[in-house]
Amino acid sequence: MTEPVDSDPDREPVGKPTSVSRITLSHIMTAGDTNLLGSVHGGVIMKLVDDAAGAVAGRHSGGPAVTASMDEMAFLEPVRIGDLVHVRAQVNWTGRSSMEVGVRVLAERWNESSPAQQVGSAYLVFAAVDEHGKPRPVPPVIPETERDKRRYQEAQIRRTHRLARRRAIKELRERRAAEGLDDA
Ligand SMILES: CC(C)(COP(=O)(O)OP(=O)(O)OC[C@H]1O[C@@H](n2cnc3c(N)ncnc32)[C@H](O)[C@@H]1OP(=O)(O)O)[C@@H](O)C(=O)NCCC(=O)NCCS
């Protein structure tokens, strides 16, 4: 359950440790989840990733949060029907109103007793929003372990690259528009 949205924008948000909002979402893959090759469709995994990350973002920010972007979704191994899939998600980094959520996808093969194997990963950015859908401040995440601290630092690198890429593309489009080049 999520807490009510904090309606006082001037109040300094209190930090929250990473472990407070970390979750694992588990799901058994069924015949309805397959692609033409008979393994699990990537979109099914992406939905689970977005669901788990959304739950984490909502818990961390104490209210509604929307997916702003999903990047570096990697599929490392095929997932099969009957596999028990675990989607582990945590807040890696927080900005003013956005959070990067890191997700690891693991699968336990239904017919093997071997440990769960990592089959995918992704990084998503969520924006916490108020009742009008406008961004609202989020509590700073407090990384607890060395692994959390490394993930925080790596998330900062991704954030810098995302902003730089967006800026460069925007500038290119503005330049082309100013030159009268129309590719619509
Ligand atoms: C995400 C959304 C709330 C951002 O609103 P906005 O008016 O652009 O607000 P801002 O520019 O202030 O961005 C808010 C924060 O999100 C981040 N952000 C916005 N778009 C982003 C993107 N594409 N990738 C990464 N971060 C993004 C900003 O960097 C900012 O972070 P900060 O406050 O921590 O510095 C708005 O674009 C939206 O509602 N999108 C639709 C979301 C949705 O419906 N998702 C479900 C898909 S069906």
pLDDT for position 153: 98
Q: Does position 70 have pLDDT exceeding 80, yes or no?
A: yes
- In this prediction the pTM is 0.91
Ligand 1, atom 15: nearest CA belongs to which residue?
A: 98
Residue 116 CB partners (closer than 8 Å, separation 6+): 84, 86, 106, 107, 108
pLDDT for position 112: 86
**Alpha carbon of 123 to ligand 1 centroid (Å):** 15
Ligand 1, atom 17: nearest CA belongs to which residue?
A: 98
Q: What is the pLDDT of residues 20-49, one digit of tens each?
A: 999 999 999 999 999 999 999 999 999 999
pLDDT > 70: what percent of the chain?
93
Q: What is the pLDDT of residues 118-172, one digit of tens each?
A: 999 999 999 999 999 999 999 999 999 999 999 999 999 999 999 999 999 999 9
Measured on CA atoms in the order 132, 102, 27, 145, is the torsion positive or negative?
negative
pLDDT > 90: what percent of the chain?
85
Contact 77, 119 (CB under 8 A): yes
Q: Which CATH superfamily is domain 16-178 in?
A: Hotdog Thioesterase (3.10.129.10)
What are the pocket residues of ligand 1 if the criterion is a CB atom closer than 6 Å to any ligand atom?
A: 66-69, 95-98, 125, 127, 129, 133, 135, 162
pLDDT band at residue 72 under the 50/70/90 scheme: confident
pLDDT for position 12: 59
Q: Where are the domains of the chain?
A: 16-178
In whole numbers, what is the pLDDT of the chain averaged over residues?
Answer: 93
**Alpha carbon of 166 to ligand 1 centroid (Å):** 12
Secondary structure, 3-state, the chain: CCCCCCCCCCCCCCCEEHHHHCEEEEEECCHHHECCCCCECHHHHHHHHHHHHHHHHHHHHCCCEEEEEEEEEEECCCCCCCCEEEEEEEEEEECCCEEEEEEEEEEECCCCCCCCEEEEEEEEEEEEECCCCCECCCCCEECCCHHHHHHHHHHHHHHHHHHHHHHHHHHHHHHHHHCCCCCC
Atom from ligand 1 closest to the CA of residue 98: 34
pLDDT for position 82: 95
**Alpha carbon of 47 to ligand 1 centroid (Å):** 19
pLDDT for position 111: 84
Nearest residue to 88 via CA among 25, 152, 155, 17: 25
